[in-house]
């Protein structure tokens, strides 16, 4: 299918929504995947007029609003709120009419066919989009890194997914979730500060975001001298709070969760998950997988995580592995969507509004299996 205007690329993560045009090299808009309604409604929506706040605007009014995230563990759980976010993206963020733009959408690796059908219903029947293509985040992350075969390590807020990809297709039976992601890291830091009577350090979600973004680090062998890795944050009262222990241990959780938590957990260390997912694939394919390991997601930006992952994997596999690092790991999936939308061979993967009206659910199942 030919596109008269640049395609809109959407990557709705559990924590951050990324949107933009396929002709650009970076998302135009990035904001929290949040919808906020006034507290006084208490769930009685629709009985009176009220303002709905989206994304960062909702987060800024956290004390006055009932906040809801329509995406939980990668799955869309509140369709009305998700539809409001899509409206917000087109009319407020991108300032583009949805009836003029085909949409390239990144979906979760575990997204069901029912979810894809519902997305098509909204985009074709409500937003009147001329075309829609839905691809998994793992596949798009590989395209965004310049590969079609490799292992995608998507470290997000709700989930960490390790998924081998072969020639642009997911190897679904090898998919692994570690159980440990940004939410667990955040909870660990909060719990540690409470134990130190420093709960006042984190008063808003942005406070914990700042710690996660600016303080966390991972060392090559977990034996760096403490004096070389000092971390601190300025509290509201002006005092400097030492976060060296939290910054080190939180980063180490990705590789030694049981050691950090001090008990047996169900979390899978990151390097073990990558190895296990690779071992589920054919032995002839593994060398190619090890040559293109692609970390993506917000927590793939933690300093030192790629170097440590490479060291751990090489110790396990006894062979060199290649980690594809990116300074924009948080946007790799979106970049892959922009790349995929421009591929001539990908045209057959799209569903047009005319096809949807003519064939309905049948064409969706045929294209998005």
Asked whether 174 and 193 are in contact (CB, 8 A), the reply is: no
Query: Which fold, 148-325?
Result: Nucleotidyltransferase; domain 5 (3.30.420)
| pLDDT level of residue 149 (50, 70, 90 thresholds) | very high
Fold classification of 8-33+69-144+331-367 is Nucleotidyltransferase; domain 5 (3.30.420)
Residue 236: per-residue pLDDT: 61
Domain ranges of the chain: 8-33+69-144+331-367, 148-325
For residue 205, give the H/E element and its range: helix 205-214
Average of per-residue pLDDT across 318-326: 92
Judged against a pLDDT cut of 80, whether residue 2 lies above it is answered with no
Grade residue 165 by pLDDT with cuts at 50, 70 and 90.
Answer: very high
pLDDT, tens digit, for every residue of 43-61? 555 555 668 889 888 888 8
Total Cβ atoms within 10 A of residue 227: 7
Which has the minimum average pLDDT: 55-59, 78-82, 86-90, 151-155? 55-59
Q: Are 54 and 336 in contact (CB under 8 A)?
A: no
Residue 227 confidence class, pLDDT cut points 50, 70, 90: low
34-43, 54-63, 311-320, 324-333: lowest mean pLDDT where? 34-43
Q: Measure the CA–CA gap between 54 and 369, rounded to whole angstroms.
A: 31
Instruction: Give the pLDDT confidence of 94-113 residue by residue, as tens digits.
Output: 999 999 999 999 998 888 99
What are the tokens at 185? Answer: 């890291």
* CB-based burial label for 369 (10 Å; 0-12, 13-18, 19+): exposed
Separation between Cα atoms, residue 19 and residue 259, nearest integer Å = 38
pLDDT of res. 68: 87
Asked if the model's pLDDT at residue 1 lies above 60, the reply is no
Domains 8-33+69-144+331-367 and 148-325 share a fold: yes
pLDDT at 235: 64
Cα angle 301, 55, 72; round to 5: 70
Confidence class for position 272, pLDDT limits 50, 70, 90: very high
DSSP code, position 52: -
Closest-CA residue to 123 (of 103, 109, 97): 103
Tokens of 212: 């996660």
Distances (CA, A) of 6 to 119, 128, 135, 145, 332: 20, 16, 18, 21, 19
CA dihedral 72, 73, 76, 82 (to 10 degrees): 50
Residue 308 has pLDDT above 90, yes or no: yes
Binned at pLDDT 50, 70 and 90, residue 8 comes out as: very high
What whole-number distance in Å separates Cα of residue 106 and Cα of residue 361? 19
Cβ count near 18 (within 10 Å): 24
Residue 178 has pLDDT above 80, yes or no: yes
How does the average pLDDT of the chain come out, rounded? 88
Percentage of the chain lying above the pLDDT 70 cut:
93
Q: What is the reported pLDDT for 214? A: 85
Confidence at residue 42, expressed as pLDDT on a 0 to 100 scale: 64
Q: What pLDDT is stored for residue 326 in this prediction?
A: 86
* 170: Cβ contacts below 8 Å, ≥ 6 apart: 109, 136, 138, 139, 163, 164
CB 102 within 8 A of CB 8: yes
Contact 138, 156 (CB under 8 A): no
């Amino acid at each position: 299918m030919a596109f008269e205007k640049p395609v809109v690329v959407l990557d709705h993560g559990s924590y951050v929504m990324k949107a933009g045009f396929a002709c650009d090299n970076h998302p135009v808009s990035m904001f929290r995947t949040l919808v906020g309604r006034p507290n006084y409604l208490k769930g009685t929506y629709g009985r009176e007029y009220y303002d709905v706040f989206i994304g960062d605007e909702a987060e800024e009014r956290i004390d006055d609003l009932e906040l809801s995230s329509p995406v939980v563990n990668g799955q869309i759980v509140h369709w009305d709120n998700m539809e409001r976010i899509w409206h917000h993206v087109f009319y407020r963020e991108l300032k583009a009419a949805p009836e003029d733009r085909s949409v390239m959408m990144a979906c979760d690796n575990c997204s069901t066919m029912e979810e894809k059908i519902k997305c098509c219903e909204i985009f074709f029947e409500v937003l009147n989009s001329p075309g829609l293509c839905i691809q998994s985040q793992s596949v798009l992350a590989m395209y965004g890194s310049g590969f079609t075969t490799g292992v995608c390590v998507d470290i997000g807020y709700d989930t960490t997914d390790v998924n081998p990809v072969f020639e642009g297709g997911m190897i679904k039976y090898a998919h692994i979730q570690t159980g440990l992601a940004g939410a667990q890291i955040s909870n660990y830091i909060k719990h540690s500060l409470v134990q130190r009577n420093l709960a006042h350090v984190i008063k808003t979600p942005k406070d914990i975001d700042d710690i996660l973004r600016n303080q966390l680090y991972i060392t090559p062998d977990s034996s760096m001298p403490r004096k070389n890795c000092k971390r601190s944050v300025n509290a509201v009262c002006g005092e400097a709070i030492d976060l060296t222990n939290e910054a080190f241990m939180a980063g180490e959780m990705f590789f030694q969760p049981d050691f950090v938590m001090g008990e047996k957990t169900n979390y899978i260390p990151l390097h073990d998950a990558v190895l296990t997912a690779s071992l589920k694939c054919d032995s002839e394919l593994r060398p190619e997988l090890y040559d293109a390991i692609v970390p993506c997601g917000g927590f793939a930006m933690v300093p030192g995580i790629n170097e440590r992952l490479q060291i751990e994997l090489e110790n396990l596999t006894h062979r060199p592995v290649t980690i594809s690092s990116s300074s924009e790991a948080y946007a790799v999936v979106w970049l892959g969507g922009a790349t995929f939308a421009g591929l001539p061979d990908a045209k057959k993967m799209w569903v047009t509004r005319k096809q949807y009206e003519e064939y309905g659910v049948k064409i969706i199942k045929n294209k998005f299996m």
